[in-house]
Chain A
Amino acid sequence: MTVVQLLYSIKTRDQRRDVTGDPWDGRTLEWLTLSPPPHYNFAVLPDVHGEEAYWTRKQTAIKMDQLIDEPDYQPIEMPVNTPTGVIVAFFASICGFAVIWYIWWLAILGLIGAFAIFVWYAWRDEHEHIIPVEEVRANARERRRIRMEHLHTLSQSV
């Protein structure tokens, strides 16, 4: 039965895909961002007043029939993606396994591997990249457009 459910969900996934970011008329901030969210998540840090930050904001927007004024978007600094953690963990696990079973050569090999990856990572000079303000603004405007449409749908369904 579960398998059937799973297969059916996979088969009909396109018509069920959420593009609004707020499929359940949510009350908290995680429903404020897009679906899927951009990798930097919020373009500006949202102001939070009270426990149900998004709900208050959403009701105000529906009542006024407009979103809050477009904020002053800034470039966003994000860390560069790196597989270092996973690779170091791989070598560290090998080292731990080898120590438990007294396989000394393997333990040393694991230690050297983990340390080498660590040094390789530490030698990079680029640790962050800047998302240009144009990209942030374009994404945010697209989000606001979707949000506005969604609010109309919500206010009509009430």
Chain B
Amino acid sequence: MTTASEAPAVGLTHQSSEDTGLGHRGPESKSIVVPYGFWLFVLSDMVLFSALFASYATLAHATDGGPTSSELFHRGLVAVETLSLLVSSFVCGLAMIAAKRANMLWTQVWLLVTGLLGFVFLSIELYEFASMIAEGAGPQRSAFLSSFFTLVGCHGAHVTCGLLWIGTMMAQIWTKGFQPHIMRRLLCLSVFWHALDIIWVAIFTIVYLIGTLP
């Protein structure tokens, strides 16, 4: 049995510093149970997105005589969007490494950069939405656009929540330090952020790349 004075256990390790109080027959420690529960949430979120992807794929050509995907999407803008989100995911990994080493300054810096890159992504997305609506290509125009705004907007709403979460975590790390429960939350945040990245890669491929094929 390990003692509580050791460094906070992060990640999927069985050498946990927490005892569930039920001996070897009890449930797994929190450093196992909490990320497991969060993975279940992420997987259920993936199911939600699968449904949105399916409806988009079905309705992608139902433009009702309105603008089509190749007329609306600009690969250059989306490339910048994708790049900022991918780099933000990488920087999130750096923040996790800094947090494991209990380095306050770099954890905060990397989390801030993660959030800023996420904000850049979100700003470009909102700009894209606004200019599409201004062109008369809003969600009410056609079934294609309804499903587009639902799918991409749902991802954008997730990123917005992620940004709020990043800000909250920065404040929590600042005031409470690298306590085990804070580290577990940070781990969940990083799982969430990477999951959003994976979903974006699918959106980028299915909506933007395939949609702008010549």
Contacts and interface: CB of A to CB of B under 8 A. Distances in A.
A26 interface: no
Interface residues of B, number: 12
A109 interface: no
A127 interface: yes
Contacts of B20: 77
A39 to B, nearest CB: 15
Contacts of B23: 74
Interface residues of A, number: 14
Given A115-B164, A127-B181, A74 B21 contact: yes
B25 interface: yes
A123 B21 contact: no
A13 B19 CA distance: 43
Contacts of B25: 44-45
Contacts of A1: none
Given A115-B164, A127-B181, A122 B21 contact: no
B164 A45 contact: no
A15 B2 CA distance: 52
6 contacts: A45-B22, A119-B168, A122-B172, A123-B172, A127-B181, A130-B21
Interface of B: 20-23, 25-26, 164, 168, 172, 176, 181, 185
The 6 closest A-B pairs by CB, nearest first: A77-B21, A45-B25, A74-B21, A75-B21, A119-B168, A76-B21
